[in-house]
Amino acid sequence: MTDATTTDVLVLGSGIAGCGAALAAAREGASVLVATKAQQPADASTDWAQGGIATTRDDPESLKRDILAAGDGEADPEAVDALVGDAAAAVEDVLVDTLGVPFDGEEGFDYAREAAHSAARILHVDAATGHHILGPFLRHLDAHENVDMLEDAAALDLITDEGTVTGALLDRNPRTGDRAETGVPVFAGSTVLATGGIGDLYRRSTNPRGSTGDGVAMAALAGADVTDAEYVQFHPTAYDDADPFLVSEAVRGEGALLRNADGERFMPDYHEDAELAPRDVVARAVAAERDATGEVRLDVSPLAFAEEFPGLAESCADRGVDWETGIPVAPCEHFLCGGVAVDTVGRTSLDRLFAVGECARTGVHGANRLASTSLLEGLVWGLRAGETAAGDGRAPAPSEPPELRDRDPDLPDGFAAEKFRRLRRVMDEHVGLRRTGADLQRAQGVLRRLKGEVDSYARTRTSRDLYQLRNAAVVGLLIARAAGENPESAGCHHRSDEAAAEEAPDAGH
Ligand code: SIN
């Protein structure tokens, strides 16, 4: 072996969860390599997170109740206990004391309220909270003597040795910085997946491009358990355009109202909490009213929009949206609640493999995630997993990595893009906000064929585009299969063939 690198802990991904894992492992004295596809902070979903980070204030039990209620009976109380138990200390230690995140508030914090929260408990910086966390986090790690950061580096596959994960093949050499099409093996005592979400599987998403479910796919291909994949959350209020931007739930928290094309406020007909109902309820209601009347707008006239949400007012202006007449909104893919199954310290079902953040299924979200809990979950599980991973063992000696072949000519430009279009079409049409058994069967057929095609190309080629496509096809299939196997609607998995009546107003949401 000539070009192998070894490290105690290899973290794949650089959002809040990956950063949390790297920080905790480095604090334990482990050597850490963070390898990330991101070329800039904005390539991670964390940087896009608007609303904020939920805290417990002095009432952890009420946050726990809200999370369990949003999860629609599917959340794991033990995981929720872990989250709320660590929340205050993690936020104070890392975000406030270590990174000095300038949360809004003059004398003490200005806690915001968002949908399905029974109290104002969300720390935020304008409506650009993730951006104000991630920049300082990356700078802090960059300066840490135990941490090396490698940007624009995708993991192509995990390396396994008799069921134990011993590292990953990267498409960039950590020593030289050179691109390495056939993969450079990095051997690690523990590997932490923190690769984020799956937004690129849908035409419209609030995630950055490149959210292709890499960690979930690599873990599944290595034999790890993936659960709750059917619970794909759609955010109710993204700008209604092929290239959407998120209009934070915090705007409804401050009093904005949803109106259909006839100008009627409709949410009170769907849920007693109206605009502050759980996200899945609002998303389906917005879709139904948009179908019935042609358009839904978010009326921001009840608040001082430009003052309270300057970043969003700017996004509107950039896109030529006159927010004074209401912002046209439609649901769009936002978050995968399921993923690689992990325990309360982020361990997967494979030895020495951890998963944190959106690619992990901790059990906190159940069938539907409560607003502003993703940054918190990423931070808490990142810290727990990083500390555990560091204690699990140090860098192993290099062994024989799998051989990736790159012997055939490159595929034509646009090959992966065309297949991605096919994949997104099937996910949108058959594995979206409302699903039927027949549609899910159809989706599985198309995705299976697509995966077969991609696998045959990937046997002799290793471009990043092709591997991302393979990952997206694997994850799309896992989602469609899980959705097909679950005939019961819960949270964001809505089987319209099971309970069509639930769609109608006054149907007891
Ligand atoms: C939002 O600001 O509406 C998104 C926050 C979240 O997804 O938790």
First to last CA, the chain: 60
- Give the tens place of pLDDT for each residue, 265-301: 999 999 999 999 989 999 999 999 999 999 999 999 9
- Give the tens place of pLDDT for each residue, 437-453: 999 999 999 999 999 99
How many Å apart are CA 203 and CA 333, to the nearest integer?
Answer: 9
- Give the tens place of pLDDT for each residue, 104-155: 998 889 999 888 899 999 999 988 999 999 999 999 999 999 999 999 999 9
How many Å apart are CA 93 and CA 392, to the nearest integer?
Answer: 23
- Give the tens place of pLDDT for each residue, 370-414: 999 999 999 999 999 999 999 997 888 778 887 787 777 777 778
Cβ contacts of 83 within 8 Å, gap of 6 or more: 67, 362, 364, 373, 376, 377, 380
Cβ contacts of 333 within 8 Å, gap of 6 or more: 198, 199, 201, 202, 204, 205, 206, 207, 232, 233, 234, 235
Strands 147-150 and 32-35: parallel
Task: Say if ligand 1 is within 6 A of residue 233 CB.
Answer: no
CA of 390 to the centre of ligand 1 (A): 31
Task: Say if ligand 1 is within 6 A of residue 377 CB.
Answer: no
Task: Say if ligand 1 is within 6 A of residue 50 CB.
Answer: yes
Range in 2-6, 341-345, 378-382 with the lowest mean pLDDT? 2-6
Strands 179-193 and 5-12: parallel
Task: Say if ligand 1 is within 6 A of residue 248 CB.
Answer: yes
How many Å apart are CA 27 and CA 203, to the nearest integer?
Answer: 40
Q: 492 pLDDT exceeds 70?
A: yes
Model pLDDT, residue 506:
44
State the average pLDDT for the chain. 93
Which DSSP string do the residues of 301-339 spell out, in sequence order? Answer: TTS-HHHH-HHHHHHHHHTT--GGG-EEEEEEEEEES-E
Nearest in space to 478 (alpha carbons), one of 221, 280, 233, 279: 221
Q: Are 185 and 153 in contact (CB under 8 A)?
A: no
Nearest in space to 475 (alpha carbons), one of 198, 159, 196: 198
CA of 157 to the centre of ligand 1 (A): 31
Alpha helices for 29-184 (secondary structure H): 45-48, 60-70, 77-90, 129-142
Ramachandran sector of residue 272 (left: φ over 0; alpha: ψ -120 to 50; beta: rest): alpha
Which two structure tokens, joined as six digits, stand for 224? Answer: 């790890």
- Closest ligand 1 atom number to CA of residue 249: 3
Q: 307 pLDDT exceeds 50?
A: yes
Neighbours of 29 (CB within 10 A): 10
Task: Say if ligand 1 is within 6 A of residue 374 CB.
Answer: yes
Model pLDDT, residue 58:
87
Model pLDDT, residue 359:
98
CA of 51 to the centre of ligand 1 (A): 5
Model pLDDT, residue 3:
58
How many Å apart are CA 358 and CA 371, to the nearest integer?
Answer: 14
Per-residue burial over 54-86, b if 16 or more Cβ lie within 10 Å, else e, is bbbbeebebbbebbbbbbbebbbeebbebbbeb
Nearest in space to 154 (alpha carbons), one of 463, 454, 403, 408: 463
Model pLDDT, residue 18:
98
Which two structure tokens, joined as six digits, stand for 370? Answer: 């409560």
Selection from 342-356, 409-423, 494-508 with the highest mean pLDDT: 342-356
Q: 244 pLDDT exceeds 70?
A: yes
CA of 343 to the centre of ligand 1 (A): 24
Model pLDDT, residue 219:
98
The pTM (predicted TM-score) of the whole model is 0.94
Model pLDDT, residue 172:
95
How many Å apart are CA 445 and CA 448, to the nearest integer?
Answer: 5
Query: What residues does 299 pair with on adjacent strands?
Result: 257
Strands 353-355 and 179-193: parallel
Average pLDDT score over residue span 253-262: 96
Backbone φ and ψ for 498, nearest 5 degrees, come out as -90, -45
Model pLDDT, residue 276:
92
Which two structure tokens, joined as six digits, stand for 278? Answer: 């759980």
Higher pLDDT, 108 or 306: 306
Task: Say if ligand 1 is within 6 A of residue 250 CB.
Answer: yes
Average pLDDT score over residue span 44-51: 91
Q: Show which residues are catalytic.
A: 279
Backbone φ and ψ for 176, nearest 5 degrees, come out as -100, -20
Q: How confident is the model at residue 315 (pLDDT cuts 50, 70, 90)?
A: very high
How many Å apart are CA 16 and CA 356, to the nearest integer?
Answer: 9
Model pLDDT, residue 280:
93
| CA torsion through residues 58, 123, 234, 302, sign | positive
How many Å apart are CA 13 and CA 376, to the nearest integer?
Answer: 17
Alpha helices for 319-463 (secondary structure H): 374-391, 415-430, 437-458
Selection from 170-179, 244-253, 327-336, 413-422 with the highest mean pLDDT: 327-336
Whole-number percent of the chain with pLDDT over 90: 84
Q: 362 pLDDT exceeds 60?
A: yes
Cβ contacts of 254 within 8 Å, gap of 6 or more: 112, 302, 303, 308
- Give the tens place of pLDDT for each residue, 202-229: 999 999 999 999 999 999 999 999 999 9
- Give the tens place of pLDDT for each residue, 20-33: 999 999 999 999 99
Q: How confident is the model at residue 243 (pLDDT cuts 50, 70, 90)?
A: very high
User: Residue whose CA is closest, atom 1 of ligand 1?
Assistant: 248
Selection from 80-94, 409-423, 485-499 with the highest mean pLDDT: 80-94
Model pLDDT, residue 500:
41
- Closest ligand 1 atom number to CA of residue 127: 2
